[in-house]
Amino acid sequence: MRKESDKDRSKMKAYQPSTKTTSQMRKTSNFQCDGRKHCSQMKSCEEATFFLNNCPNTKMDGNNDGIPCEKQWCN
């Protein structure tokens, strides 16, 4: 195996985390975290995805693949 050189490292893109805070994301969306946790409480895949990505303690991704409510909304 060859050792990674400085030239190789300079070609890699650095990870750029979002500069928005969770509260800022909540404000810019049509949805807001309101305590709902289950797919039966959602009205769309978009809403379920927002909740999964932004709200604590959701129970919408049983297989942990990042896609919520696959049987109900996101199929």
Q: Are 36 and 14 in contact (CB under 8 A)?
A: no
Contacts of 44 (CB under 8 A, 6+ apart): 73
Domain count, the chain: 1
Q: In this structure, is residue 24 part of a structural domain?
A: no
Within a domain: 25 = no
- pLDDT at position 19 is 55
Asked whether residue 5 is assigned to any structural domain, the reply reads: no
Q: Are 55 and 33 in contact (CB under 8 A)?
A: yes
Contact assessment for residue 38 and residue 59, using Cβ atoms and an 8 Å cutoff: yes
Parent domain of 69: 35-75
Contact (Cβ atoms closer than 8 angstroms) between residue 4 and residue 27: no
Q: pTM score > 0.85 for this model?
A: no
pLDDT 10s per residue in the chain (75 long)?
455 555 544 455 554 554 555 555 545 579 999 999 999 999 999 999 999 999 999 999 999 999 999 999 999
- What pLDDT is attached to residue 29? 76
